[in-house]
Structure 1
Amino acid sequence: MNFSEYQEISKRTMPEIKGDLDLKLARFNYALGLNTESGEAGDMIKKHLAHGHDINIGELVKEAGDVLHYLSGICSLYGISFGDVAEANIIKLQNRYPNGFSEDASRNRKEYSDSHD
């Protein structure tokens, strides 16, 4: 499945938007959902690494999927192609780390004028 297909299929669970207030509430809901689900995924990893808990990869996949869903929804609600987001991120990373990631490159990276982070 590609990003465009995912974004289109995931729209089926989005609320109906009838006006500006609905759009604002949907954007608010998806932003909070992204925050919540990414926090849940992060908490699972924290408990695994810092507290010695076993990690359930199946549950981590579900949480990562929820993060993906909410991010896709935010993109849809702002008229952004999910694929364009992925492509722009790869370009940014290639510009930032043209020879791949290294600690030195991370500490001494050059920012590019078209970077939006």
Structure 2
Amino acid sequence: MNFDDYQKAANRTLMGNEQVLTNCVLGLTGESGKVADLVRKYTFQSQQLDHDQLVKEMGDVLWYLSQISEWADIPFDEVASDNIKRLKKRYPAQHGGVNQVNI
């Protein structure tokens, strides 16, 4: 699935009124906080990093990002492509690394 397909599929679940952008931004911060909390507990409290829970929370973050992009009429593929272009410029000689894919 590409990002634009995801964005359109996710949009069918968007509920709200004229406050959609505010709801999505606040939801993004809440869900990002859940991801951060899982990592904090793993790092500082020696808890196992629950793969399934991390995937769920990251999916929630992705949903909110896609809907902010939808609200702003920005194709989600454009967001992803632009980010990769900027990363290539910022890190032109970056190779390998732990769990890293070549960009």
Task: Quickly name the TM-score band, shorter chain normalised.
Answer: 0.7 to 0.9
What is the deviation of 1:16? 5.8
Which digits, 9 at most, give the CA deviation of each residue in 1:33-85, with x for residues without a partner?
10000110110011001111112100100000000000000000011111000
SS of 1:13's equivalent in the other structure is coil
Cross-structure match for 1:32: 26
The match for 1:78 among 64, 72, 76 is 72
Give the percent of matched residue pairs that are identical in Structure 1 and Structure 2.
40
Structure with bigger RCO (C-alpha 8 Å, 6+ apart): 2
CA distance in 2, matches of 1:16, 1:32: 13
RMSD over aligned Cα atoms: 1.2
Cross-structure match for 1:7: 7
Structure 1 stretches lacking a partner, 5+ long = 102-117
Which digits, 9 at most, give the CA deviation of each residue in 1:96-117, with x for residues without a partner?
110017xxxxxxxxxxxxxxxx
Letter in 1 for 2:20: A
SS of 2:12's equivalent in the other structure is helix
Structure 2 stretches lacking a partner, 5+ long = 96-103
CA distance in 1, matches of 2:15, 2:70: 12
SS of 2:65's equivalent in the other structure is helix
Cross-structure match for 1:65: 59
Normalized against structure 2, the TM-score is what?
0.88
Normalized against structure 1, the TM-score is what?
0.78
